[in-house]
Amino acid sequence: MDYKYIEQLLERYWECETSLEEEQILRSFFNQKDVPARLLQYKEVFTFPELDKENQLGDDFDARLIAMVEEKPAVKAKRITMWSRLAPIFKAAAAIAIVLIIGSITEKSILKDMPTPVQTDYMAYPQTYRQTDVVTATNNVDNVAVETGIDSIMPLNTTPLANDQQQ
């Protein structure tokens, strides 16, 4: 058998001109049983890497490391678009808007069913409303009550006097 190719590879190996594939060919060649005598002297150079692979850590190392790390659910990288990034903000804004709209509709419907006290006073005492300042009447119901009270008291006060005069 012609070992010229192997010898050439060997020369190139020492010169660091071999590729990884060619170095694998050399390792495979020297790891087989039938190595010619003249090449036997280099056998150990290429069988050494295989022997080195026997240096390994045991299962107890794995168990210890896994216990230390306490493996959590795997991290998953996820592509996020601008829309999906902003979606929570839009959702929150929409939720707030819905609450506000429902709130204002409910408020309007409740107020519509209930007559406002201020308006009732104005309707009951239209003269008083005309006599007093609009702003005062709107903002202060007590003032309205006071003024209307005067009007309503006046006839009562005059009644005893009339009676005295009659007497």
Partner 1 sequence: MKEISFRNDVLPLKDKFYRLALRITRNREEAEDIVQETLIRLWDKRNELHEGMESLGFTICRNLALDQMQKKEAQNVAFDPELHETADNGTSPAEMLIAKEGRSIIQEIVEQLPEKQRSIIQLRDMEGKEYKEIAEILQITESDVKVSLFRARQKIKEQYVKLNRYGL
Binding site for partner 1 (CB under 8 A): 13-16, 20, 23-24, 41-42, 44-45, 48-49, 51-53, 55-57, 61-62, 64-66, 68-69, 71, 74-79
Nearer to partner 1, 22 or 121 (CB): 22
Nearer to partner 1, 54 or 142 (CB): 54
Spatial separation of the C-alpha atoms in residues 104 and 98, rounded to whole Å: 10
User: Phi, psi at residue 91, to the nearest 5°?
Assistant: -60, -45
Nearer to partner 1, 42 or 122 (CB): 42
Using CB atoms within 10 Å of the CB of residue 30, give its burial: 0 to 12 exposed, 13 to 18 middle, 19+ buried: buried
Nearer to partner 1, 41 or 167 (CB): 41
How far does CA 166 lie from the centroid of its chain? 88
Give the nearest distance from C-beta 92 to partner 1 in angstroms: 27
Task: Return the amino acid letter for 56.
Answer: Q
- 25 contacts 9 by C-beta, under 8 angstroms: yes
